[in-house]
Amino acid sequence: MMTSRVMSRAYFAAIPLLLVLSACGGPKGEPAPVEPKPVDAVHDASTKIPLRGIVTTSGEVATFSLCGAPAGAAVTLTGPAGELADAFASLNAKPTDGIYVEIQGGPSADGTSYVWTKIVRARGVGEGIACDAPVFEGEFVANGNEPFWAIEIRDKGIVYRSPEIPQGRVYPYALTPTASDAVLYASKTNDPVVSTIEIALEPARCIDSMSGELRSFKAHLVLDGQRLEGCAREGVPHGEFGDAPLDELRRFAGAYPRTVHLWDEPVIHERLLALLGTAMPLFLEAMKVQSPLIKDNEIYYVTGNKPHRGGLDNAAFLADPASDTLAVILYVNGTRRDFKEGGRDVAIPKEVVAMIDTLETH
């Protein structure tokens, strides 16, 4: 994931030339020979992954519930109070209702609070997003209104959508480095039509004119000569959450598996099939009423039960990135079965222990 960069005003004049240069390069966009350093900076600066969660305020005290944290694990949030107040005011949100935020920062030294330095995204919790959406698997998402347009930027291509092109038009990926460390993409496609696209992303506070969502990038788009304006936010490309395969689960923390199709995700699907075998359909039935994906003491888990069969047909999904292990505890008509990759044990979180105790003592 790329960190914020300061852009110079000169990039607007440079875009047409950059488009020609990048269109002549390979599929990833060849760096200009006199400016190689910004490419390295862009791809090396991928360690700052925003914290996602819900923040509420009471007086001068802000409380933060991290997406995917166990119930009751909210902590105090400290940082620039004025910026947080501005976000609440911009979204017209009540302090006790809270807002969804993505912030740069981390735990305090004593672990009793979170200290943040910048809000990179903020949105009302009633907007249907909160934590129940995965982190975008790519570099940037951008959109604008009147006229509406949307762009998704991944290293496999840049997708542009509009009401006239709802299925999307794909352009080759082309990141264009500049001496000013600007975030620029310029590309061209010849199929199905000849079309050019230029995207300049400026690190600055931006408010979506329709949703009121606060983002940390302004997006300047030139599509076949037409200039469009909007807002953008950063995503997290695959593999940047950590080196362990199961670190990718952080992308879905706080989301319900059915909403994000977690069981179909490549990092999970084949391994679950191999682990459960013929019990896979029973597991899916026992997960129809489910919790979100939670992380407790570095273990990810989901609990669930078959509709109207709680106490008889239940399941718990467990994932330990440190040992790269999946495990499932499955109850079918009250009988327990355990499935462990490689026979390895996974530490059982408190909520799962409580579920087991309830099932096995009644």
Residue-by-residue pLDDT tens, the chain, 362 positions: 444 333 333 343 344 333 333 333 333 343 333 333 332 222 233 346 889 999 999 988 999 999 999 988 889 998 887 889 889 998 999 998 899 999 998 888 887 888 988 899 999 987 566 798 899 999 999 999 999 999 999 999 999 999 999 999 999 999 987 666 568 999 999 988 999 999 999 989 999 988 889 999 999 999 999 999 999 999 999 999 999 999 999 999 999 999 999 999 999 999 999 999 999 999 999 999 999 999 999 999 999 999 999 999 999 999 999 999 999 999 999 999 999 999 999 999 999 999 999 999 87
* Residues making up the chain, counted from first to last: 362
Q: What is the pLDDT of residue 36?
A: 30
- Residue 209: CB partners within 8 Å, gap ≥ 6? 144, 145, 146
Residue 133 forms beta bridges with which residues? none
The sign one gets for the Cα dihedral 19, 223, 90, 96 is negative
Q: Hey, how many other C-beta atoms are within 10 angstroms of the C-beta on 163?
A: 8
Report the amino acid identity of residue 330.
L
Q: What pLDDT score was predicted for residue 249?
A: 96
What's the confidence (pLDDT) of residue 157?
Answer: 96
- Pairing verdict, β 113-124 and 75-78: parallel
Q: According to the model, what pLDDT value does residue 137 have?
A: 95
pLDDT score, position 128: 60
Residue 268: C-alpha distances to residues 174, 263, 273, 324, 330 (Å): 31, 6, 9, 11, 17
Where does the chain show beta strands of DSSP type E?
A: 51-58, 61-66, 75-78, 99-107, 113-124, 140-144, 149-154, 157-162, 165-171, 183-189, 195-207, 214-223, 226-234, 289-290, 294-296, 299-305, 314-320, 325-332, 335-340
Q: Which residues contact 240 (CB under 8 A, 6 or more apart)?
A: 1, 46, 49
User: Tell me: the pLDDT tens digits for 162-183?
Assistant: 999 999 999 999 998 766 656 8
